[in-house]
Structure 1
């Protein structure tokens, strides 16, 4: 942001000071906005590479997100007494009166350096000692000045340029015979964009040698530029861009939450369709069971039974090790019954799940069309409702079961669990942390198997059979120092062997 743009903003602001500060808001980690009584929002966007200063009406939102923003909120209080620009440089000083109360807040000075990639926001006391700043600058980075709490504030190095606000026609005489661009480069507060605007107003090429007849034309154009810089609405345009970025920042977590729900439902839908496809397997298992029951007395011991089906064709049937043909047939009937039950349930759930996915698609489309204000309301509604971390299910006996879907959720769920809850994890492979919320109450085997199968299914062992899953009380689980989120150690564990296949309830 160029010096004359800053001057134009401050010129409009100074006529309405002093003004009482009504509170800070922080739309993002690099933006602070102070609501001034009778003025509007003083917006300071202080993160490189495009700092911005502006005064805007409307309403901004956001809580403090960084330690420095919390310091601003606590120490910059009372009336804003003055706003002063260092020459026409990109450095602005804001003086705050402080507050008297149960705990007095001392007066402070806020320094805003809008210096491109070196932009910074610095809070000082009235003696110039730095109380805090957004980005400390060590001596290794800047030999001229070091910026950190406790040191006196040192402004950027001084320079000598012509001030276009007080410039007279005769002050331009030393540039006679030199290119017009050389004169412009010696003007304070005029950068690349204002250079282009000034050239447009004087209607001369940048390399035009200055003659005496050019000086009044250039001087007049400069005075008009000071009075009304080109793009004086630029701060509003910049704020519009800021609001667009804020809207996207609000929209992103809402969109990602809906996309996660959609992905989960799509995975369930795929499981339900696979359950339907396995009806043929259920039919085959029943047929094998019928044949084993019919020929049980004539089947010799061995891994395979070779019998004729009811159409006279020879069929090979795998036998379970250590089981008789009748016991193997009973196993086949049980598996067929489970597959048929899963298929029957899938027929009920597929239309419901497809409808839920369609509703999520519609909600995603609606989300993209929401305004910034509507997104704020939606975000507040979601926060008030409270985020749900992980999948939430119910065990056969009614215990709540939590399933982490990533390392962050694994870490949060394990920390949220009661010390007597049961913690499950597949043995030796990456996977979800599963919490069976018993809170010390005894859990029956069906509940333990339910949680163990969830841990197996939501792991790298998905699809395998006879997967070992360890479980222990949460109080025996801990995260080592400096370990990544979701990485834990545990003791006192027992092991269950389960199939890592989808459950009907998942």
Structure 2
């Protein structure tokens, strides 16, 4: 970020008296909420650090590192003493009086927009590091940044600083956010669409390799004939024979390859078992087809939902870049699992999975379904807690996104699982429900 931009930001932020809330919202992004109403975000990624203004949103994950704990304890509800640019460099320092202190105490939150060593550092009144977003040791830099180590000043560098006026800082920072978000969304979409396409293509290849029932029926008949011919010509087969040449029941010459390691009197049984396998496979092929079809449709719907996403938090909800360690260990084969603000959400992909969801859900879990349209059943694990409206709204959108591709307005009914009565299969009757209206926007899909 340019020095003149930081200078304008420092002057602009002087109008506020308190920092109401301080927290990390992404791996390298810190939100400071000033005077309850104004949120500014400090994006501290190396090489592209900047400040932007946006509405406050709940982070997709919680951050509980020592830096986050101290950031909340010392900076949230702190009084602003002054905001400066030390040595007129690309460093923004907020000098604060923490509310939690039992006696007068001052600390500083210092944002360093210095390229390779971009950082956010908490400093006490003796210029000793309390904690930092990134620790830097002596092997990486002469300027060690670790708790308990005195913070050395960045050596001054002679630079020609531009001095461009910024008429409206809030508008300027909001526009920076829109440009950054648009670029980031495009990159995330490309990455996630490629991932989904690969998964869908892999499933499609498995579908294409499935044998059709007609070919399986022919194989069954062939093995059945082989078994009967072996029985009729058993007297001709010697223990060391590898094939049998004879005539079929229509008088045509035929050669049958004999399986190795099987006694002659058991060869017919081998072919009858093969015929039985083909018969069972033909009988159950529709189960494999349905399983693959529902998974292909699921990823197709996910592809469309990613295409329609307008904000990064929507993309991360659909396909999180990584999960917490406890979530990585938890895998569910019977349905798709998502996390919304730390609430587990389960979605059935077909009738069988919907039935399993209904049977496994607890009475206080929240059940959700699109009204009057065949769709996925969705369960939110509540652990007997009251769900925030935002969680219910996001879950309703997921229910629509993964059930339908057609644009339109849909009504999603939801209620406690205890008020849902299973009728037949995954058909249900339900009572004491509420309804949300969800709009699914249409887009042009080019594949």
- TM-score (normalizing by structure 2): 0.61
Structure 1 residue aligned with 2:77:
78
Q: 2:144 is paired with a residue of what secondary structure? A: coil
Q: 2:174 is paired with a residue of what secondary structure? A: helix
Residue-by-residue CA offset, 1:277-334 (whole Å, 9 max, x unaligned): 4544333222211111222234343323222222333323233456444421111111
How has the CA–CA distance of structure 1 residues 228 and 391 changed in structure 2, closer, same or farther, with 3 Å as cutoff? closer
Q: Work out the CA distance in 1 between the residues paired with 2:291 and 2:155.
A: 68
Contact kept, 8 Å, 1:275 with 1:339, in 2: the verdict is no
Matched, 1:21 2:20: yes
Q: 1:281 aligns with which of 219, 223, 237?
A: 219
Q: Work out the CA distance in 2 between the residues paired with 1:266 and 1:65.
A: 42
Q: Work out the CA distance in 2 between the residues paired with 1:358 and 1:32.
A: 38
Contact kept, 8 Å, 1:10 with 1:83, in 2: the verdict is yes
1:78 CA displacement: 2.6
Matched, 1:334 2:273: yes
- After superposition, residues 363-382 of structure 1 pair within 5 angstroms as 363-372=302-311, 374-375=314-315
Structure 1 residue aligned with 2:100:
100
Matched, 1:308 2:247: yes
Q: 2:5 is paired with a residue of what secondary structure? A: helix
Structure 1 residue aligned with 2:113:
114
How has the CA–CA distance of structure 1 residues 79 and 332 changed in structure 2, closer, same or farther, with 3 Å as cutoff? same
Matched, 1:48 2:46: yes
Structure 1 residue aligned with 2:207:
269
How has the CA–CA distance of structure 1 residues 71 and 38 changed in structure 2, closer, same or farther, with 3 Å as cutoff? closer
Matched, 1:59 2:57: yes
Q: 2:211 is paired with a residue of what secondary structure? A: helix
Structure 2 residue aligned with 1:392:
333
Question: Which structure has more RCO (C-alpha within 8 Å, separation ≥ 6)?
Answer: 2
1:93 CA displacement: 0.8
Q: Work out the CA distance in 2 between the residues paired with 1:116 and 1:56.
A: 23
Q: Work out the CA distance in 1 between the residues paired with 2:68 and 2:89.
A: 25
1:48 CA displacement: 1.3
1:40 CA displacement: 1.6
1:5 CA displacement: 0.9
- RMSD of aligned residue pairs (Cα, Å): 4.0
1:121 CA displacement: 1.5
Residue-by-residue CA offset, 1:232-258 (whole Å, 9 max, x unaligned): 855333322443466579868976885
Structure 2 residue aligned with 1:158:
156
Q: Work out the CA distance in 2 between the residues paired with 1:4 and 1:237.
A: 17
Q: Name the structure with the higher strand share.
A: 2
Which shows bigger deviation, 245-254 or 36-45? 245-254
Tell me the number of residue pairs that the alignment of Structure 1 and Structure 2 aligns. 327
1:350 CA displacement: 2.9
Structure 2 residue aligned with 1:292:
230
How has the CA–CA distance of structure 1 residues 106 and 341 changed in structure 2, closer, same or farther, with 3 Å as cutoff? farther
Q: 2:28 aligns with which of 30, 38, 47?
A: 30
**For the pair shown, which has the larger CA radius of gyration, 1 or 2?**
1
Residue-by-residue CA offset, 1:191-223 (whole Å, 9 max, x unaligned): xxxxxxxxxxxxxxxxxxxxxxxxxxxxxxx6x
Q: Work out the CA distance in 2 between the residues paired with 1:8 and 1:115.
A: 17
How has the CA–CA distance of structure 1 residues 15 and 99 changed in structure 2, closer, same or farther, with 3 Å as cutoff? closer
- TM-score (normalizing by structure 1): 0.54
How has the CA–CA distance of structure 1 residues 335 and 26 changed in structure 2, closer, same or farther, with 3 Å as cutoff? same
Q: Work out the CA distance in 1 between the residues paired with 2:140 and 2:239.
A: 83
Q: 1:392 is paired with a residue of what secondary structure? A: coil
Q: 1:240 aligns with which of 170, 173, 178?
A: 178
Structure 2 residue aligned with 1:431:
none
